Amino acid sequence: MPELPEVESLVRGVRDALKGKRIANVSFLRPDIREVIPAERLKEILSGQKVTDVSRRGKYMLIHTKEGALGVHLGMSGRFVASDKSACLVPHTHALFDLEKNLQFRFIDPRRFGRLFSVEKNETSTHPFLAKLGVEPLEDEIDLGDHLFDASRSRSQAVKVFLMDSEVVVGVGNIYASESLWRAKINPQIPSKNLKLSQFRKLALHIKAVLSDAIDAGGTTLRDYRDKDGKPGYFQTNLAVYGKESMPCPRCRTTVRRMIQAARSTFFCSVCQK
Ligand SMILES: [Zn+2]
């Protein structure tokens, strides 16, 4: 499933390609994906309009014109890729966005958990998909450590599960929660309300670093790079504990362990993360 770093890489690539450019035409090849596509409204928002910006909120990409925005969520298997207009359509291509000359963006989603939706101009923080999202972890104006500390004071759930609550902070998926807790030397099972402010501040720095590293390593999304298992390239790099059960901890050589928390695998070092 695409995570925040992959979506951020995509947004940066799409922004470079689309900002200031006019979308000539839009076509939808089926009426629905996860939900019905608001095709008529999206055509009004996009067709013949210049793209004023491309932004990200959580794992949603927003392509803005002066009429509103197209919201894109990649779901489990969605891709939003640049292509030549003349190139053959791959199976499960659901939408085409024509630009000038021979350039076309395509939305492809085999499992159809993705979303294409319209966002009105005054709706960017109140749209039902966007309204409940927590803070952006990479936003400089937000003190993430203080925010996590404040939000956790009455919460006894394990800190790893707390970090993955997208109403608290967006984009700290399973991989990044395990990796940042390992980097910060925090036991994933500690009740969140028991962590000190200093620990949350340290954790926040590692969350930002883990996500930034993944974004830096993942800038190939627009070219649709996949490894042999179909995963984006950055999943192969820089992981210390995630997916490394029975391998030595890179810091102390203790065997990395796996446990299940809230139905998801957590990878950790029982010596480093007391
Ligand atoms: Zn260790």
Residue 91 token pair:
């199976």
pLDDT tens, residue by residue, 158-212: 999 999 999 999 999 999 999 999 999 999 999 999 999 999 999 999 999 999 9
Amino acid, single-letter form, for residue 240: A
Q: Which CATH class is domain 144-268?
A: mainly alpha
Answer yes or no: same fold for 4-123 and 144-268: no
Q: How far is the CA of 188 from the centre of ligand 1 (A)?
A: 13
Counting DSSP H helices and E strands in the chain, the numbers are 6, 10
Q: How far is the CA of 182 from the centre of ligand 1 (A)?
A: 8
The whole-model pTM stands at 0.88
Tell me whether strands 103-108 and 93-98 are parallel, antiparallel or unpaired. antiparallel
CA dist., res. 117 & res. 70, Å (int): 6
Q: pLDDT band at residue 228, thresholds of 50, 70 and 90?
A: very low
Looking at residue 214, its pLDDT comes to 84
Task: Decide: 268 and 182 in contact? Cβ < 8 Å.
Answer: yes
Q: How far is the CA of 181 from the centre of ligand 1 (A)?
A: 12
Amino acid, single-letter form, for residue 229: D
Task: Decide: 227 and 236 in contact? Cβ < 8 Å.
Answer: yes
What strand order describes the sheet that includes 53-57? 53-57, 60-65, 68-73, 115-119
Higher pLDDT, 157 or 225: 157
Looking at residue 218, its pLDDT comes to 66
Q: Minimum mean pLDDT among 6-15, 125-134, 139-148, 161-170: which range?
A: 6-15
85: helix, strand or coil:
coil
Looking at residue 237, its pLDDT comes to 59
Characterize 23-44 residue by residue with b for buried, 16 or more Cβ atoms within 10 angstroms of its Cβ, and e for exposed. bbebebeeeebbeebbbebbbb
Q: How far is the CA of 251 from the centre of ligand 1 (A)?
A: 5
Does pLDDT of 231 surpass 80?
no
Q: Minimum mean pLDDT among 76-80, 120-124, 214-218: which range?
A: 214-218
Residue 48 token pair:
């013949």
Q: Minimum mean pLDDT among 9-13, 103-107, 135-139: which range?
A: 9-13
Q: How far is the CA of 269 from the centre of ligand 1 (A)?
A: 5
Does pLDDT of 229 surpass 50?
no
Q: pLDDT band at residue 213, thresholds of 50, 70 and 90?
A: confident
Q: Where are the alpha helices (DSSP H) in 218-268?
A: none
Looking at residue 221, its pLDDT comes to 44
Domain boundaries, given as residue ranges, for the chain: 4-123, 144-268
Taking CA atoms, 253 is separated from 244, 260, 272, in Å, by: 12, 22, 10
Q: For domain 4-123, which architecture applies?
A: Alpha-Beta Barrel (3.20)
Centroid of chain to Cα 24 = 28
Which residues partner with 62 through β-bridges? Answer: 55, 71
Q: pLDDT band at residue 226, thresholds of 50, 70 and 90?
A: very low
Q: pLDDT band at residue 40, thresholds of 50, 70 and 90?
A: very high
Give just the sign of the alpha carbon dihedral 172, 178, 184, 188.
Answer: positive
Q: Which residues are catalytic?
A: 2-3, 59, 264
What percentage of the chain reaches a pLDDT higher than 70?
Answer: 93
130: helix, strand or coil:
coil
Higher pLDDT, 13 or 150: 150
